[in-house]
Structure 1
């Protein structure tokens, strides 16, 4: 089968690889669509980061590069391993793409996203969504019912947004300020809007600002090239500041703005993955008693996230701005999102035959 394999920085190749073999307790899935994630772009430009380098295999997958990429994917069940009785062949599903040890303190406490050895399918090994099929443990497979499979490929990043929302403690009636309107920022906004939270967003890209407004997931959008961001947030909140803020850009200047734009006692959640250390003005945290929190991926968020879509509270269709075949992954996918991201929000990839 065809798969996109990471060999080195700026070296992703579409190659023929063996079709994975079904095993007891696992599920075989024919992949329909796979999204290109910001983490994938970081790996391409700066990696290996989450991908294990040669000679240093991941402790759970026991794989190192080259690995098949892709962790935002949907598909249909093609076969069931021995012992699997609660799924059916042909059922539409998504995958929570984890490797966890089940032995460390975090795993035993139920916070498996903080596993000491945690890895992601599509980065740490185990196959990936940028291929025609995959075999994964039943634990990580989530049925999506009648959600269209192209939209279902966005469930994984939507779950990232849902977990960030949970980590923030935000509640209906609050005002949230999001720094960065990329796919995660926009999908986080969709979750917050669905939960009755007023959203203010700042973003450089005109296309992404327009997408935020046209989808209705934000109340106000700020162009940082035109407006004083902090002053605008204070104006929109009657001088008080936002109740909660989310850093979704990995830009230090944006983080600084969030700290200035929230009210005293607010929560600031860092959602983005940083390729280099950030600088935090600790005096701002101290004098305003700001609670700065991290969030990584998701933990038990997929059922609630899927329900938001099934109940019509989140519409994923408008966030898909491009559909490409696997052989155009680098030139039409990665290149667009790296060099022309003002023209795209979420590009999804069709690994298999058209149908």
Structure 2
């Protein structure tokens, strides 16, 4: 079968590989659609980060490069291993793509498995990936979805779960209706985080340089206001929109210092600044501002038992994922039409989906 294989920095190859072996407690999923994630781009440009090298195996999977990429994907169960009784051939599914040590508690009561030692992701640290025609995944990480939910939209449930967990970490829930959130950055994670906030009845202000992404935030209904920080003073505009108080909560989705600083200034006293983006370099924090406004700064990574609630939001119609799909390509076009667009022309795209089999493409 065809797969996108990561060998190292600027070295991804489309190759024919043998399918993984079905084992007890696993299912085989024929991949329908896989999203290109910002993490994939970081691995290509700056990696290996999560991916192993040819000399250093992942401590959990034991695999070395090359590994198959892709961790945002949907598909259909095509084969079921012994001991699996909650899934059947033909089920539509999405994957919670964790690679964890076997002794980690991943029960519904756990709130920490996503930050356990050596945590990694399927499609980065080994165990196959969504940028292949099919994949074998342990039953625990496979989530069934309604067949009425289109599989292309379902491929966005993984990054949407990132947004859901970030909103949860910030203390926002059904009781937060009427609050105001400022989201720094309207890339895929910023937009999806905004969609969760809107589902909870929160007023959303987005700050974003790209005209296309600002318009996408407004047209999709996930933002009430979209500000261009190159043209307006975001802090002053937020204060005007909140009666001089400032935002209740802010989400940093860019890993850009000036955005972080703006969010701190735009928060009201006792506000929460939730850092969602992955920072590849140290940042600075004005602790005087932190102290004088008694702000909370919180980190978030991935998701933890977030997929069921996220899927429910989508299946209930409270979140519409279709507007965020801005391109569909074949696996052979991964670099030229996928990575190149998102690296060099990212203001023109939000989420590009890949069809490993070529099905569903015009």
User: TM-score band (shorter)?
Assistant: over 0.9
Aligned to 2:127: 126
Are the counterparts in 1 of residues 163 and 193 from structure 2 also a CA contact under 8 Å? Answer: yes
1:307 aligns with 2:312: yes
Aligned to 1:244: 249
Are the counterparts in 2 of residues 175 and 244 from structure 1 also a CA contact under 8 Å? Answer: yes
Are the counterparts in 1 of residues 194 and 223 from structure 2 also a CA contact under 8 Å? Answer: yes
TM-score by length of 2: 0.96
Q: Which runs of 5+ in 1 are unaligned?
A: none
Aligned to 2:292: 287
Are the counterparts in 2 of residues 106 and 115 from structure 1 also a CA contact under 8 Å? Answer: no
Distance (whole Å) between structure 1 residues aligned to residue 275 and residue 212 of structure 2: 23
Deviations 1:82-111 (A, max 9, x none): 011111101100000001125358999541
Are the counterparts in 1 of residues 247 and 267 from structure 2 also a CA contact under 8 Å? Answer: yes
1:44 aligns with 2:55: no
Q: Which runs of 5+ in 2 are unaligned?
A: none
Residues 109/143 of structure 1: CA separation in 2 closer, same or farther (3 Å cut): closer
Are the counterparts in 2 of residues 182 and 208 from structure 1 also a CA contact under 8 Å? Answer: yes
TM-score by length of 1: 0.98
3-state SS of 2:5 partner: strand
> Residues 1-355 of structure 1: matches in 2 within 5 Å?
1-103=1-103, 109-145=110-146, 146-170=148-172, 171-355=176-360
Distance (whole Å) between structure 2 residues aligned to residue 128 and residue 284 of structure 1: 43
Deviations 1:279-299 (A, max 9, x none): 111221111111000000000
Q: How big is the alpha-carbon RMSD for the aligned residues of Structure 1 and Structure 2?
A: 1.3
Are the counterparts in 1 of residues 105 and 113 from structure 2 also a CA contact under 8 Å? Answer: no
- Number of positions where the alignment pairs a residue of Structure 1 with one of Structure 2: 355
Distance (whole Å) between structure 1 residues aligned to residue 104 and residue 157 of structure 2: 27
Q: Name whichever of 158-167 and 272-281 sits farther off.
A: 272-281
Distance (whole Å) between structure 2 residues aligned to residue 321 and residue 109 of structure 1: 35
Distance (whole Å) between structure 2 residues aligned to residue 311 and residue 106 of structure 1: 26
Distance (whole Å) between structure 1 residues aligned to residue 213 and residue 163 of structure 2: 17
Distance (whole Å) between structure 1 residues aligned to residue 125 and residue 305 of structure 2: 20
Are the counterparts in 2 of residues 102 and 112 from structure 1 also a CA contact under 8 Å? Answer: no
Distance (whole Å) between structure 1 residues aligned to residue 76 and residue 115 of structure 2: 29
